[in-house]
Amino acid sequence: METIKNKFLSISVKNHGAELCSLKSLQNKKEYLWQANPKYWGKHAPILFPFVGRLKDGEFTFNGKSYKMTKHGFARDFDFQLLKKEDKRLEYFLKSSERTLEMYPFNFELYVIYELKDKKLNTIYKVKNNDTKAMYFSIGAHPAFNCNIAEGDKYIEFEYEETLYSYIVNLDNGLIKNKRKAITENKKRFLLTYDLFEEDALVFDEIRSASVCITDNKTNEKVKVTIKGFPYLGIWTPKAPFLCIEPWYGIADMVDSNKRLEDKKGIQILDVGKTFECNYEIEIVN
């Protein structure tokens, strides 16, 4: 476990999965990240790579061969190497191995960087294609924030007015149906209720806003997550006292998926020797 801090925030990260496991305000001594109570969900903020969500029948095909893959990929289950530790920065590293190649036929390097900047935590993902062929992958974040929706007066708030239709998740297999449900129309925010999550996560695309907040209407405190550039956004709670805000470069398989990696909805393609980079920020606004 590694811990870094500045005047405003303290974070802790473990080598296993390079997972963020604490995000504390040093001003009010409050822990903002879910503390992985296994009664509800035993994780904090797993990194989703090389897939986001479930694959149809838990497998994909590439070049005529079938590969088994667990939900959200394998990165969260591996120990990362700590490359650098500085006062306000941590850098972690995972590379392909015989074990990963059995599940995923690409040579890669994955870098995860955490940086503290005033009241913001910036998380950077870098994916390098070390293979001799184009690489197909998805990557996403899954941070869970302490948020008791049952108390009421908790809202999702966007930067701009949004008209949002969520993909619908098939509860039997975790795949995405070819239909959507309306969540809000031309509004900047909507009230959080557990009823919204009767069909698992809310999954959005084509969001105009560069950020989304969990807003406490009583205290006006906000947890702000930047999502600029991410094509998908997941919002999820399993009727528990936390809420996940999940920016994704990828999505679970559709119910009618043909399992071919090249045809997978939302898949990213990285040319030989190239590096993909994205980032998102968490800011405590109070």
Segment 42-85, tens digit of pLDDT: 999 999 999 999 999 999 999 999 999 999 999 999 999 999 99
Nearest to 61 by CA among 249, 250, 253, 232: 253
Average pLDDT (121-141) is 99
CA angle 11, 268, 138 (to 5 degrees): 40
Segment holding 98, helix H or strand E: helix 98-103
Q: Can the peptide bond before residue 50 be classed as cis, meaning omega within 30 degrees of 0?
A: yes
Counting the structural domains of the chain, the total is 1
pLDDT, residue 249, reads 99
Cα 89 from Cα 110, distance rounded (Å)? 17
* 119-126: average pLDDT: 98
CATH of the domain at 134: 2.70.98.10
Mean pLDDT of 122-140: 99
Q: What is the mean pLDDT of residues 200-229?
A: 96
Task: Please name every residue paired with 270 in a beta bridge, in sequence order, or none if there are none.
Answer: 135
Least Cα distance to 217 among 154, 131, 149, 141 occurs for: 154
Per-residue pLDDT averaged across 177-185, rounded?
95
Tell me how far apart the alpha carbons of residues 188 and 156 are, in angstroms, rounded to a whole number.
8
pLDDT at residue 102, as a whole number: 97
Confidence of residue 198 (pLDDT cuts 50, 70, 90): very high
Residue 60: CB atoms within 10 Å: 28
286 band by pLDDT with thresholds 50, 70 and 90: confident
The pLDDT value recorded for residue 86 is: 97
Q: Is the pLDDT of residue 116 over 90?
A: yes
> Can you give the residue range of the structural domain that contains 252?
2-285
Please report the pLDDT score of residue 256 as a whole number. 97
- Looking at the chain, how many residues does it have? 286
Mean pLDDT across the chain, nearest whole number?
97
Using pLDDT thresholds of 50, 70 and 90, give the confidence band for residue 95. Answer: very high
pTM score: 0.96
Three-state secondary-structure class, residue 204: strand
Cα dihedral 161, 48, 149, 168 sign: positive
Residue 132 pLDDT exceeds 90: yes
239, 195, 191: which is closest to 215 by C-alpha? 191
